[in-house]
Amino acid sequence: MLFDFFVSVAMLIIGSLLIFKTADILVQYASKLIRGNKIPIPVVGVLLLPLITGLPNLFISISSILNGLESFVYLNNLGNTIGNLTLALGITVLLGRKFIIRKTALVKRDALFLCVSSLITVLLMADGLLSNVDGLILILVFGFYAFNLHREETKKIKPENVDLAKIALIAIISLVVMFFGAELVVTGAKGIMNQFSLTETFAGVIIVGLAAILPETSVMVLASRRGNIGLSFSNLIGDTRVSVPFIVGLIAIFYPLNISQHVINLLLPIVALLVIFFMIIIWFDPFLFRIPNKFDIKKHEAVFLILLYIVIAALLY
């Protein structure tokens, strides 16, 4: 049993690293391709690149269905939201530099969309079924945001000569490796779940969620330590905003998802309360009772976020 456990853990780690590395490669080459088409910077930074970094969750969702774990589709993506807004943010603040972000219109708008889209997703799941129509609604919600983002009037990125054949080949290889990594993650999580008789909710939200967010968290920490706080925060917001509703909605259009009563009674309220709390701390500092023009998280607040994640994990267990 111990050997099987270590094999499952190794699958999770290897799969997670493969997913992260291939996503990083895709972002690098997508950036070069994007520069050749004069796309507005906001569209690149908060839409196109997050869509690419959302591919791991999409592949994990597809792999989950192929392995008979349909619930992992929404559990993984909801777990991604929970993990990013608590554990990833808390670790980044603790290990990085002072976390201060000016509350620009872009930050407020993205945070508002994250909150509203997550709450819409929770409401659509509350009846126990995420149908084709529900999936279409989620895609339309994301599309509305994307359309408004595209209308941003900003400077363009300078064109860059690119080798389309090379980029296409690298993209195909990366996608194949990424899907293989997703298979390892799902298989490893399934193995641990069966060995310890864990619930699908815990395995999907915590085990698969951790495998998805920890490699990316390390990049956020490095960005923060180098003084790129905005990049770190943008990465977190972008990843969370794409996981729900876009990926969940996209899967639901083609594969309606049944939601368990346990998820409805416990997980959905947790997600709803968490995104509302996140929205509050963006607009209003609940610890100091003030409305500052900067969004800052202190070390003790980071500890609170990490402890909050541990409490959520204990509740799901």
User: So what's the pLDDT on residue 170?
Assistant: 85
Tokens linked to 47: 């839409």
Please tell me whether residue 160 adopts helix, strand or coil conformation. Answer: coil
Tens digits of residue pLDDT in 182-226: 999 999 999 999 998 899 999 999 999 888 888 778 877 877 777
- Can you tell me the mean pLDDT for 140-155? 67
Most confident range, picked from 33-37, 167-171, 264-268? 264-268
User: So what's the pLDDT on residue 154?
Assistant: 47
Question: Could you give the percent of the chain with pLDDT greater than 70?
Answer: 76
pTM across the whole model: 0.84
pLDDT greater than 50 at residue 141: yes
User: So what's the pLDDT on residue 273?
Assistant: 93
User: So what's the pLDDT on residue 78?
Assistant: 92
User: So what's the pLDDT on residue 94?
Assistant: 87
- Can you tell me the mean pLDDT for 149-175? 66
Residue with tokens 């895709």: 26
Q: Which CATH class is domain 2-316?
A: mainly alpha
CA dihedral 91, 265, 279, 100 (to 10 degrees): 0
| CA pair distance 48, 69, nearest whole angstrom | 29
Confidence of residue 112 (pLDDT cuts 50, 70, 90): confident
pLDDT greater than 80 at residue 301: yes
Arithmetic mean of pLDDT over the chain: 80
Residue 259: Cβ within 10 Å count: 19
Tens digits of residue pLDDT in 25-72: 877 776 666 555 555 544 454 556 566 767 888 899 999 999 989 999
Confidence of residue 138 (pLDDT cuts 50, 70, 90): very high
Confidence of residue 290 (pLDDT cuts 50, 70, 90): very low
- Can you tell me the mean pLDDT for 101-114? 68
Q: Are 210 and 99 in contact (CB under 8 A)?
A: no
Q: Are 174 and 19 in contact (CB under 8 A)?
A: no
* Cα Rg of the chain, angstroms: 19
